[in-house]
Amino acid sequence: MKIFSKFYKKILSYFFFIIYGKISANQNNFDKKLIVKKKIYKNISYKIFETNNSRLYTNSSDVAYITNNTIISGPSIQFRRKMNANVIHNIVIQKGTPKFYKKINFRVFSLLCGIDANNYYHWFFDCLPKILIFKKFYKFDKSDFFLAPNLKHDYQIESLRMLNIKNILNAASLKHVYAKKIITTNFSNFTINHKDWLIKELRERFTLIKRKNSKQNLKIFIDRKGVSSLIRDILNKEELIKFLRNENFLIIDPSKLSFVDEIKLFNSAKIVVGIYGAGLTNAIFCQKKTHIIELKNNQTDSLFKNIIKKSKLNYHFLTSEVKASKYSSKPFDGFISVNILKLSKILSKIN
């Protein structure tokens, strides 16, 4: 079966090579194929890339911007070892563009970021920021299209609606596009120290409840569930949850909530406790001075600490030794045991 599958893929690739031709990485005449606009916002320089009568192909991770069968460096994405590598490593150089393209005679704004935007954190801090940057420098028209990564979660659909983004194309089913103009930006989130303007705008645009009318009276524990709990979780979680329930904490699984309810819930929080992970992205919906307690291992970075502090929230943490996960070797993954006594002391100071 595997041999047949490989043979089929080779035949398919050959078929599309005949239709669309081989993709070159030759960067001659680079300036003629790509318009680069350097824009300054909040004293930070961003590049806006525009390609005319060009193609975009993605396999969900690599993203290739193609003009006259030449892949264009700059906007194209091919992450290798956490870096955007040379375009010669892009999947289209070897595999071509094995999908029929959809022709669009209008502008297409690409939100593709080359990473898993089905992750709650990456959606808000890698994908949506592209829209916020586009809004600074373009006036959107009703004929504009927006190419987004795989859309399968309520928070993706709802957040786009709240940003008034329409004509959405789903790159999971539409991997190959030919458009009159394709626009993207070099925004990338390779740092744990997020820009102040981004934190501020995300907080302002997605907080539904008027802060002056919202009471901060909820105590919330973010319970990590599903496949993600296989690579990072709390070993003594049952004991922890029992303790937190006695402290009047609400135990929640954010994946079970609608996006609107998630915003409202965290906007009403007085205290939030959660393990390092995407669930702590919800700190951007909390009111100022909310107390966030991050549970993490002693090898974890300061990603969520920075988001929490830049959101003007009170940050607390509890570190533990880590037990490695067989599914991941990343330093922030693994399993921890939470010291209930130490957590109790932190809570007593807050209360």
The predicted-structure confidence for 317-331, as pLDDT tens digits, reads as follows 999 999 998 888 888
Backbone angles phi, psi at 171, to 5 degrees: -70, -15
CATH no. for residue 212? 3.40.50
Kindly report the average pLDDT of the chain as a whole number.
89
Q: What pairs with residue 335 in β-bridges?
A: 233, 323
- Whether 305 maps to a domain, the answer reads yes
Residue 54 is encoded by which pair of tokens? Answer: 């060009």
Q: Are residues 238 and 276 in the same domain?
A: yes
**What is the structure's pLDDT at 207?**
79
Over range 291-302, report the average pLDDT. 95
pTM reported for the whole predicted model: 0.90
Over range 157-165, report the average pLDDT. 95
Q: Mean pLDDT lowest for which of 99-108, 128-137, 199-208? A: 199-208
Q: 113 pLDDT exceeds 60? A: yes
Domain that holds residue 51: 2-185
Q: Are residues 152 and 231 in the same domain?
A: no
Provide the H-helix boundaries in the chain: 2-20, 30-33, 91-95, 120-122, 128-137, 154-162, 196-206, 237-246, 259-267, 303-310, 340-350
- Whether 193 maps to a domain, the answer reads no
Q: 6 pLDDT exceeds 70? A: no
Residue 61 is encoded by which pair of tokens? Answer: 């991770």
Q: Are residues 132 and 12 in the same domain?
A: yes
Q: What distance lies between CA 160 and its chain's CA centroid? A: 13
Q: Are residues 123 and 232 in the same domain?
A: no
How many independent structural domains does the chain possess?
2
Structural contact between residues 148 and 168, judged by C-beta atoms closer than 8 angstroms: yes
- Whether 55 maps to a domain, the answer reads yes
